[in-house]
Amino acid sequence: GQQLNQSPQSMFIQEGEDVSMNCTSSSIFNTWLWYKQEPGEGPVLLIALYKAGELTSNGRLTAQFGITRKDSFLNISASIPSDVGIYFCAGGNTGTYKYIFGTGTRLKVLA
């Protein structure tokens, strides 16, 4: 079945550093989503992307929909301790109602 390769699996960074993570697929998607899961909570939608090449920001977060439609990237600038959590990418196609999730990137920010 379809799979998403998300990397890195985990990151330990210093507060104030920028973070980059990405997601690649062997399949084409027309929607890419980025979620964040904090301990004890469910994933929360951060950014949704609908067009190849699209670059969308949400505060310090910026995500891009890859031109090939097979990948997506998430950047976090000037990380802070509350950025800690697991970040999931998800790819989907309009009308299917079903998303394929990546394995997650666990982010830890050291103050």
Partner 1 sequence: EAGVTQFPSHSVIEKGQTVTLRCDPISGHDNLYWYRRVMGKEIKFLLHFVKESKQDESGMPNNRFLAERTGGTYSTLKVQPAELEDSGVYFCASSHIWGFETQYFGPGTRLLVL
Contact footprint for partner 1 (CB under 8 A): 3-4, 6, 31, 33, 35, 40-45, 48, 88, 90, 92, 97-104
Task: Please state whether 40 falls in left (phi above 0), alpha (psi between -120 and 50) or beta.
Answer: left
How far is Cα 102 from Cα 110, in angstroms, rounded to an integer? 24
CB nearer to partner 1: give 14 or 39.
39
Are the beta carbons of 5 and 100 closer than 8 angstroms? no
In the complex, the smallest distance separating the C-beta of residue 48 from partner 1, rounded to whole angstroms, is 6
CB nearer to partner 1: give 42 or 59.
42
In the complex, the smallest distance separating the C-beta of residue 16 from partner 1, rounded to whole angstroms, is 29
CB nearer to partner 1: give 66 or 92.
92
In the complex, the smallest distance separating the C-beta of residue 108 from partner 1, rounded to whole angstroms, is 16
Are the beta carbons of 9 and 21 closer than 8 angstroms? no
